[in-house]
Amino acid sequence: MTAPTDAPTDLDALETDLETTAPTPADASETQTGEAIAPETDELLDDRADEFLDDLPDEVEMSLFDHLEELRMRIFYALIAVAVGVVICFIFVNPIVALLEVPAHGAKFLQLAPGEYFFVSIKVAGYSGILVSSPFILYQIVQFVVPGLTRRERRLLAPIVFGSSLLFVAGLAFAYIALIPAALNFFVNYGEGVVEQLWSIERYFEFVLLLLFSTGLAFQIPVIQMLLGLLGIVNSKQMLNGWRYVILGAAVLGAVLTPSTDPVTQSLLGGAVLGLYFGGIGMVVLIGK
């Protein structure tokens, strides 16, 4: 009569073992929490980005008159910033002129007409004032454009503006360090022993300022490529397939943007344009386009 009593005892022991080895709800929740750490981190970053985007001006229904009034106000603020920048740069125009004369390596400058240096100073202060006030001008442009952009377009705006500004400054530095000295050395060596190097200060600064800003504009090529790739107009393969036309275009662009006709400056700028173009293709590839 002992057998019937042993069976329930064994079953009770088996149930006890199963209850001991079964995962508790707390353990299950800890496992799920550990697995959810990475997604929650991504969600946190996305939330912070969304909060930043929400701080920007929201899209507002505006009439044509309201848009024109907003545009007029932004232009007015930008012009005030330019005027302030020009005045400040005119006050310190002599150090700026001395800095721009450095690539000439001691060449003598002549004032060929009364007041020529005064008008040169105004021109130098004007270009410098625009450059100094450009961050505020960009801010006004962003404030005018952002309300009409979607959230996806807003995410792209900051990298594009930052990249464009950085490339423009890089273009100015490249022109000042490489292009201008190369062009001046070419002209000096070409006329060495034949003519004395006495340069018109107006012609010199016209040459230098045009070369600086045209090079800064040429360095915007990767930004244009990124925009075309992001908008789906052209992909990286199509950009690469047109390399023959790009080489021809770089030669033409180097000839058009350089105020001089020497082959050294044109070759340097054309080579820089090619490097920027193929670098832009690499950036388009990185974004999956």
Asked whether the beta carbons of 137 and 81 are under 8 A apart, the reply is yes
Which residue is associated with the tokens 């000042």?
176
Average pLDDT of the chain to the nearest whole number: 76
% of residues, the chain, pLDDT over 70: 74
How confident is residue 285, by pLDDT bands cut at 50, 70 and 90? confident
| Maximal CA-CA distance, the chain | 133
Is it the case that residue 45 has pLDDT exceeding 60?
no
pTM: 0.69
Look at residue 261 in the predicted model and tell me its pLDDT: 66
pLDDT digits (tens, 9 = 90+) for 107-119: 788 888 888 889 9
Look at residue 60 in the predicted model and tell me its pLDDT: 55
pLDDT average, residue stretch 224-248: 81
Helix then strand then coil, in percent of the chain rounded to 5, is: 80, 0, 15
SS3 of residue 197 by DSSP: coil
How confident is residue 141, by pLDDT bands cut at 50, 70 and 90? confident
